[in-house]
Amino acid sequence: MRAQLSYEIRVAGQLDEACVAAFAGLRVASDGKVAVIAGTFDQAALHGLLERIRQLGLDLEEVRRVRASPRHAVS
């Protein structure tokens, strides 16, 4: 079994309530220009999350693996 790692995924813009609901169980924060979706999961879950972002038509800006738990809180 592969290790679960912490990730921050940045998408352009602010997410509406429906998009936030699509990422239930993850931390979502936004400054109005960029939304950060953060959580701890394995590679398979990461690929599934990236596919969900594509299906929602969100503009992916960055995917970053972080060493400590993601620093963004739910907003």
Who's near 69: CB < 8 A, 6+ residues apart? 6, 40
Who's near 26: CB < 8 A, 6+ residues apart? 37, 38, 39, 49
d(CA 58, CA 63) in angstroms, rounded, equals 13
Per-residue pLDDT reduced to its tens digit, 5-64: 999 999 999 999 999 999 999 999 999 899 999 999 999 999 999 999 999 999 999 999
* CATH number reported for the structural domain that contains residue 50 in this entry: 3.30.70
In the chain, how many domains are there? 1
Instruction: Give backbone dihedrals phi and psi of 46, rounded to 5 degrees, phi first.
Output: -60, -45
Structure tokens at 32: 């109005």
pLDDT at 2: 65
In 3D, which of 58, 55, 75, 69 has the Cα closest to residue 7?
Answer: 69
The residue range of the domain holding 23 is 5-66
In a domain, 62, yes or no: yes
pTM of the model: 0.82
pLDDT at 68: 61
